[in-house]
Amino acid sequence: MWSRTTKNIKNVVSYFRTVNFSSQVVCHQKVCIVGSGPAGFYTAQHLLKNCPTLEIDMFEKLPVPFGLVRYGVAPDHPDVKNVINTFTAIAKSGRLQFVGNVTVGKDVTLNDLRNAYDVVVLAYGAAQDRWLGISGENLCNVVSARKFVGWYNGLPEESHLKFDLDAETAVIIGQGNVALDIARILLTPIDMLKKTDIAQHALEALSQSKIKNVKIVGRRGPLQVAFTIKELREMIKLPGNSYRIHLENPEFIDACLPKTSRPRKRLTELMLQSSSIKRSEEDSSKQWELIFHRTPIKIVGDSNANKVNGLVVGINHLTGDDWENPQVEDTGLRETIPCGMILKSIGYKSLPLSDELPFDHAKGIIRQTEGRVEGMQGVFCSGWVASGPVGVIASTMQSGHDVGKRIIEDLKNGIVGTGTRKPGRDAILSQLEARNVEPVTFVEWEALDNEERERGKYQKKPREKIVDVREMIDIAKKGQS
Ligand code: FAD
């Protein structure tokens, strides 16, 4: 890993060397970024590349960087996490200061940042749950995907959660990649999970899990699923599992294929082939199913324990000519899917971190045009807080780079950063000190990173994540004393 990181730093150095200096902007304005996930780092990358004199401060609420790359991406997808090497190289370029353990909106306000910096970039992601709005949603063991993912990935605020994994059947509502990640984590043989960076408390709980059927339920049909082919392939190949893909009208789906995009065509073909090839169930103790055309109507529980024991769904019928975006019509028919756990994978949303921020509450995103926050000169936003929880790290990279371009245009054209000289970091650090906040630097994070890797060695894992914020800070600070 170390050699990879070194290689990456070299890559970034050579990346800076490839820059066309005539297109660069010399600017002395002060820039800060809120959030250290992909959106924050890729916005920084574009700015640092194109403004050789610019320095950036990056505020992060957790004592650790990288956002959903650390706390969202599934533990059995280590390759996806390699972007951390690029982010590390950006953080070590000497022109970006990571300031961890600082919650903007609590420890410092957006106004404080606007007073201290010429440009503020909001890249704080989407870390709130969406609700189905049906009865029974508050029953025990009805869980949001966000919480479950945070739990198995060692996110401090979710690490204390206890789930009842004694039931045999779990239903996942939603048919995106997060739904398949969760299904995989529930069904993967424990010996395989042991070798990943999954949090130890989750590994222990999953090793006792009795869940052996996972039903992945969607409102629409196979032509509209949001998951991608790689994730479906992984499910199909999952050792110890058989599966059923309930295709009601394969002839119709087949007839639609010529009208679909290439990735959609390949994904649908895989579903068609897999639904007809029945995998041997001889050594399959577990099973997953893809169930389409079902809308959750209500969640039912047993009267004693207040615990879920079924999901009532309405059976749908899709109409309209637009196969990509059909209308969903309720047939009026109902069925109950018995289950002891329900995971809602219906998307994430953001919240405004200050009252004055223009915010679309229905979509859970900041109101913006091309990354420029409406009515707030010098304030920009990128990534999931701007777009909503759509797309992967690559699309977030594009969003970060695009917003970086807009910032440079505004700096170049004197639209931002022309007023009185801003105090920058020093002003914020003194405020934090006065409020007894202990900021964590990138070097301190590296001390914590080393400790996690060391602890991982004992368990034969890439790392053992530390989940207590106080312990994280203590290790980070001690490593540097
Ligand atoms: P985030 O990654 O969420 O980063 C936001 C950062 O802001 C966080 O570090 C957060 O702590 C910080 N923050 C929040 N509030 C504040 C505040 N008030 N003050 C300071 N800091 C704050 N993409 C892939 O390409 N491959 C995958 O395998 C993949 N798996 C995924 C699995 C899951 C479960 C999820 C949810 C997403 C996955 N994605 C994957 C998508 C990818 O994670 C996102 O595209 C990307 O992380 C979005 O980046 P972001 O920077 O906008 O948000």
Task: Enter the tokens of residue 481.
Answer: 């004393």
Q: Pick from 462, 475, 476, 399: which is nearest to 153 by CA? A: 462
CA of residue 259 to ligand 1 center, whole Å = 33
Mean pLDDT for each 10-residue chunk of the chain (481 residues)? 34 36 63 98 97 92 98 97 97 96 98 97 94 93 97 97 96 97 98 97 98 97 95 96 91 89 95 76 84 96 86 93 86 97 95 95 95 97 95 95 97 88 93 96 97 96 97 91 51
In SS3 terms, the chain reads as CHHHHHHHHHHHHHHHHCCCHHHCCCCCCEEEEECCCHHHHHHHHHHHHHCCCCEEEEECCCCCCCCHHHHCCCCCCCCHHHHHHHHHHHHCCCCEEEEECCCECCCECHHHHHHHCCEEEECCCCCEECCCCCECCCCECEEEHHHHHHHHCCCHHHCCCCCCCCCCEEEEECCCHHHHHHHHHHHCCHHHHCCCCCCHHHHHHHHCCCCCEEEEECCCCHHHCCCCHHHHHHHHCCCCEEEEECCCCHHHHHHHHHHCCHHHHHHHHHHHHHHHCCCCCCCCCEEEEEECCEEEEEEEECCCCCEEEEEEEEEEEEECCCCCCCEEEEEEEEEEEECCEEEECCCEECCCCCCCCCEECCCCEECEECCEECCCCCEEECCHHHHCCCCCHHHHHHHHHHHHHHHHHHHHCCCCCCCCCCCCHHHHHHHHHHCCCCCECHHHHHHHHHHHHHHHHHHCCCCCCCCCHHHHHHHHHHCCC
Q: What is the pLDDT of residue 278?
A: 59
CA of residue 318 to ligand 1 center, whole Å = 33
CA of residue 364 to ligand 1 center, whole Å = 15
CA of residue 368 to ligand 1 center, whole Å = 19
Pick the residue whose CA is nearest to atom 29 on ligand 1: 73
Q: Pick from 130, 176, 128, 142: which is nearest to 298 by CA? A: 142
3-state secondary structure of 140: strand
Q: Pick from 16, 19, 48: which is nearest to 31 by CA? A: 48
CA of residue 301 to ligand 1 center, whole Å = 33
Pick the residue whose CA is nearest to atom 24 on ligand 1: 392
Q: Where are the alpha helices (DSSP H) in 176-216?
A: 177-187, 190-193, 200-207
Q: Which residues pair with 108 in a beta bridge?
A: 104
CA separation for the pair 234, 177 (Å, rounded): 11
Pick the residue whose CA is nearest to atom 6 on ligand 1: 35
Q: Pick from 56, 55, 65: which is nearest to 85 by CA? A: 65
Amino acid at 423: P
- Please state the atom number of ligand 1 nearest to the C-alpha of residue 126: 3
What phi and psi values does residue 333 have, to the nearest 5 degrees?
-80, 145
Cα four-point dihedral sign 469, 471, 476, 478: positive
Give, rounded to a whole angstrom, the gap between the first and last alpha carbons of the chain. Answer: 24
- Please state the atom number of ligand 1 nearest to the C-alpha of residue 145: 34
CA of residue 389 to ligand 1 center, whole Å = 9
CA separation for the pair 335, 36 (Å, rounded): 44
CA separation for the pair 387, 381 (Å, rounded): 9
CA separation for the pair 307, 139 (Å, rounded): 6
- Residue 62 CA, chain-centre distance (Å), reads 15
Mutation probe of ligand 1 site: the residue of 66, 124, 149, 365 with most atoms within 8 A of C-beta = 124
Cβ contacts of 253 within 8 Å, gap of 6 or more: 221, 222, 223, 247, 268, 271, 272
Q: What is the pLDDT of residue 1?
A: 27
CA separation for the pair 50, 43 (Å, rounded): 11
- Please state the atom number of ligand 1 nearest to the C-alpha of residue 68: 2
As a whole number of angstroms, the longest Cα–Cα distance in the chain is 74
- Please state the atom number of ligand 1 nearest to the C-alpha of residue 395: 45
Pick the residue whose CA is nearest to atom 9 on ligand 1: 67
Q: Pick from 170, 179, 70: which is nearest to 448 by CA? A: 70
- Residue 333 CA, chain-centre distance (Å), reads 35
Task: Enter the tokens of residue 140.
Answer: 């025990």
Q: What is the DSSP letter of 266?
A: H
Whole-number Cα distances in Å, 372 to 32, 47, 154, 256, 330: 15, 15, 34, 39, 40
Pick the residue whose CA is nearest to atom 47 on ligand 1: 68
Around ligand 1, the residues with Cβ closer than 6 Å are 34-40, 59-62, 67-68, 72-73, 77, 80, 103-105, 123-125, 127, 149, 178, 181, 353, 383-384, 391-393, 396
Q: What is the pLDDT of residue 306?
A: 83
- Please state the atom number of ligand 1 nearest to the C-alpha of residue 149: 34
Cβ contacts of 390 within 8 Å, gap of 6 or more: 384
Centre a 10 Å sphere on the Cβ of residue 76 and count the other Cβ atoms it contains.
Answer: 17
CA of residue 362 to ligand 1 center, whole Å = 20
CA of residue 34 to ligand 1 center, whole Å = 12
CA of residue 69 to ligand 1 center, whole Å = 6
Pick the residue whose CA is nearest to atom 12 on ligand 1: 35
Pick the residue whose CA is nearest to atom 31 on ligand 1: 73
Mutation probe of ligand 1 site: the residue of 68, 77, 399 with most atoms within 8 A of C-beta = 68
CA of residue 74 to ligand 1 center, whole Å = 12
Amino acid at 389: P
Pick the residue whose CA is nearest to atom 4 on ligand 1: 37
CA of residue 13 to ligand 1 center, whole Å = 26
Task: Enter the tokens of residue 370.
Answer: 């091309």
- Please state the atom number of ligand 1 nearest to the C-alpha of residue 382: 52
CA of residue 383 to ligand 1 center, whole Å = 8
CA of residue 72 to ligand 1 center, whole Å = 7
Q: What is the pLDDT of residue 17?
A: 34
CA of residue 184 to ligand 1 center, whole Å = 20
